[in-house]
Amino acid sequence: MMVEAYAEKVWRQMIQDHSGNWGMDIDHWDWVPGVGVVALLEYYEATRDERVLAYLLDWVQRNEAKAKGKAVINAIAPFAIFPGLYRLTGDAGFKEEAVRVAEWLLHEAPRTREEAFEHTVTENVAFSEQVWADTIFMAVLFLARTASLLDSKAYAEEALKQVLIHLRLLQDPQTGVLFHGWNCTSGDHMSGARWTRANAWIAAGVPLIVAEIAGLVDMPQELKERFGRLMSGLISCQQPDGLWSTVLDRPDFYREVSGSAGIAYGLLKAIEVELILHEEEYAARAEHAYRAIVPYITTEGLVTGVSGGTPVMPTIEAYQNDVPRYPTLYGQGLVLMLLAQMSQERE
């Protein structure tokens, strides 16, 4: 089957009625549907399929009122489509909302003592003084896109600052890969898990961010060096079957599809925006991952082999034993982003 046929199945499954299914219900306002709609916009931009754009505009109309609740990092994720929708439609409402949310991020969002955005969530639980890799995709991507839309150096500088802080705090100096989180109070990486999807959020998010802000701020050599070490480290953890285990350095753990798709997408996108070299090797690694992911897509377009929502777990073993696997919009989304990128590469 052609890559476009897989993509069609995946996105069509995303927009079905999955009411009451936390992982697949797209009609609420949080990071799970947020990753889904970010991926749908990526897919639209790759294909110019007007059905996808029409769906996104309808989705915003149906769900935007749900965004008026508590402002948290994870609820920023869906706003990442607003700059793009403004460019496509000229509807000033998208631009106004993007500015409102960007101003909140800059001036009101809780920060840790290192000035990182504290990872806040819609659930009734707090992660005080914690830095999570997820924040880069869930909030900083939005900020970078709004910076590009407005030609705002202030927003671009903040986006770059957040990327660098997260890389400095989370990167393992020995392997180059990232820990899931950092606790600023205790000064440690908590369980010390090098969780695959955490790495995928940054592998996929940073090239997208760089593409938005490169014309507004200079890209420091530190960013290129750190990101290069990350991708090199991730390549060394890819398993012979083409996928990554749910914890990078535990090949005995199960293979995790959403993280694998995010890393493979990040490899291709980073080549495109000239963040990394070794183009032939990295492109081949992404192709290997794509071929390994395809069998996890059911005939109905559901992406299987995806771990559920995962906070920083108390032990490394808990990532294997205590996190269930089921289809989710972020699993669908990361796979759709990879499929869209693969289809462009093959044109």
pLDDT higher for 122 or 261?
A: 261
Residue entry with tokens 């990092």: 73
Q: How many other CB atoms are there within 10 angstroms of residue 27's CB atom?
A: 13
Tokens 């109905």 belong to 300
Give 114-170 pLDDT, tens digit per residue.
999 999 888 877 788 899 999 999 999 999 999 999 999 999 999 999 999 999 999
**CA 325 – CA 309 distance, rounded (Å):** 9
181 near 119, Cβ under 8 Å? yes
Output the pTM of the full model: 0.97
Burial 282-305 (b: 16+ CB within 10 A, else e): beebbbbbbebbeebbeeebbbeb
Residue 277 has pLDDT above 90, yes or no: no
| pLDDT at residue 347 in the model | 66
User: What are the CA-CA distances from residue 156 to residues 101, 104, 226 (Å)?
Assistant: 14, 15, 19
pLDDT at 330: 98
Residue 73: C-alpha distances to residues 65, 80, 116, 343 (Å): 17, 12, 12, 31
- How would residue 344 be classed by pLDDT, with cut points 50, 70 and 90? confident
Secondary structure class of 35 (helix, strand, coil)? helix
Strand (E) or helix (H) holding 132: strand 130-132
Q: Using an 8 Å Cβ cutoff, are 178 and 242 in contact?
A: no
Model pLDDT for residues 195-253, shown as the tens digit of each residue: 999 999 999 999 999 999 999 999 999 999 999 999 999 999 999 999 999 999 999 99
The set of residues, in sequence order, having a beta carbon less than 8 Å from that of 321 and lying 6+ positions away, is none
In the predicted model, what is the mean pLDDT of the chain?
Answer: 96
**In 10 A of CB 253, how many CB atoms?**
18
183: β partners: 130, 188
3-state secondary structure of 178: strand
Please state, in angstroms and rounded to a whole number, the distance separating the CA atoms of residues 248 and 82: 33
